[in-house]
């Protein structure tokens, strides 16, 4: 059952009092707090164990609400018209007078804004009437949550009793985090691939650069190990050991062996694979196994976002 008016009123009350509420979005579940309240934003960082140099996305109800917090140029306006509400986050110049905690920007003079399409997220934003800072609702570095149960698993003690309520909104339909596009420079810079692809952005905005290690200051959350299950992850597997889990993609009948197997999409559908990715990584993360072997996923379309998450899941742990 979707949350009713009483649940939204309760959630808005928690946010107004500086508490945290987990909310569903079409990408992943978020750990939300009032973006204008320093203590609330600080408690998001504390609950996640997130380094304070990694800024948060501020969720707004619509494009009109964005103007209060950022300078929205023609390019940003166009992108909002086309993709909001939806899985696109825009990094924009922050208005100095914005009534936002400085912590959400982690000291940068920019702010990341997104208007989520999920009806529960929309209803919450409308009810509370405030922007909501919300990173993915997982402990820093872990796999992102795509169901309310994943959120509960990540914060068994409610994140030190900071997380007061999980609004349930079913399984996230997209399953990988929003595309993050930096529009503060002359050329758009893709900080994180997502379901709005580089090709789709370029068709509207012209050439888009891909962020590299050299963009570390602009993209503080980009480089390190992330999305990591407990087990080691091995990419581009063409075989699987008896004590390994197999995360397959496409027809997998030729890969024999393995202790347990799940298929992201037996038909090779990238949309289905993205929606399954994080839940399957969690499900295969079992004690007693030596690792998770992952079959290759093509890099086209949504595959770029899937491979980005898989590479970081497999990156050396910090």
Q: Name the site residues for ligand TXA (rule: CB under 6 A).
A: 25, 27-28, 30, 54-57, 89, 91, 105, 108, 110-112, 114, 116, 134-136, 177-178, 180, 191-192, 218-221
> Taking CB within 5 to 8 Å according to partner kind, which of ligand TXA, Mg ion, none is near residue 134?
ligand TXA
Q: Is the peptide bond before 85 cis (omega within 30 degrees of 0)?
A: yes
Task: Give the phi and the psi of residue 310 in degrees, each rounded to 5.
Answer: -65, -40
Residue 37 sits in the site that holds Mg ion (CB under 5 A): no
The nearer residue to ligand TXA, 92 or 233, going by C-beta atoms, is: 92
Strands 20-23 and 30-34, by their bridges, are antiparallel
Interaction pattern, residues 125-144, with Mg ion; x per rule: CB under 5 A: -----------x--------
Rounded CA separation 75/56 (Å): 22
> Taking CB within 5 to 8 Å according to partner kind, which of Mg ion, ligand TXA, none is near residue 304?
none
> Taking CB within 5 to 8 Å according to partner kind, which of ligand TXA, Mg ion, none is near residue 112?
ligand TXA
| Size of residue set near Mg ion by CB under 5 A | 1
CB 266, min distance to ligand TXA, A: 26
| CA gyration radius, the chain | 19
Element (H, E) at 216: none
Task: Give the phi and the psi of residue 230 in degrees, each rounded to 5.
Answer: -65, -40
The nearer residue to Mg ion, 261 or 309, going by C-beta atoms, is: 309
Rounded CA separation 41/33 (Å): 6
The nearer residue to ligand TXA, 193 or 303, going by C-beta atoms, is: 193
Cβ atoms of residues 129 and 97 within 8 Å: no
Name the residues that contact Mg ion, by CB under 5 A.
136
């Amino acid at each position: 059952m979707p949350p009713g008016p009483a649940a939204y009123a309760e959630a808005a009350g928690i946010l107004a009092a500086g508490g945290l509420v987990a909310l569903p979005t079409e990408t992943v579940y978020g750990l939300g707090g009032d973006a204008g309240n320093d203590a609330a934003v600080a408690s998001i960082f504390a609950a996640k164990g997130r380094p304070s140099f990694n800024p948060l996305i501020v969720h707004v109800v619509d494009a009109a609400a964005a103007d209060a917090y950022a300078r929205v140029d023609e390019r940003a306006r166009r992108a909002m018209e086309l993709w909001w509400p939806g899985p696109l986050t825009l990094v924009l110049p922050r208005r100095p007078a914005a009534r936002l905690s400085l912590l959400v920007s982690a000291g940068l003079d920019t702010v990341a804004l997104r208007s989520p399409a999920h009806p529960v997220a929309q209803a919450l934003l409308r009810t509370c009437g405030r922007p909501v800072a919300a990173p993915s609702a997982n402990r820093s570095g872990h796999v992102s949550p795509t169901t309310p149960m994943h959120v509960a698993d990540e914060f068994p003690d409610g994140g030190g009793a900071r997380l007061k309520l999980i609004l349930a909104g079913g399984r996230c339909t997209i399953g990988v985090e929003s595309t993050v596009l930096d529009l503060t420079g002359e050329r758009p810079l893709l900080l994180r691939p997502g379901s709005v692809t580089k090709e789709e952005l370029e068709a509207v905005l012209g050439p888009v650069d891909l962020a590299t290690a050299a963009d570390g200051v602009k993209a503080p959350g980009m480089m390190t190990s992330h999305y990591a299950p407990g087990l080691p992850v091995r990419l581009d597997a063409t075989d699987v050991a008896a004590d390994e889990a197999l995360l397959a993609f496409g027809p997998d009948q030729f890969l024999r062996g393995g202790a347990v197997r799940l298929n992201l999409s037996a038909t090779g559908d990238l949309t289905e694979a993205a929606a399954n990715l994080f839940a399957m990584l969690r499900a295969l993360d079992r004690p007693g196994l030596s690792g998770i072997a992952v079959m290759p996923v093509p890099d086209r379309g949504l595959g770029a976002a899937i491979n980005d998450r898989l590479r970081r899941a497999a990156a050396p742990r910090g």
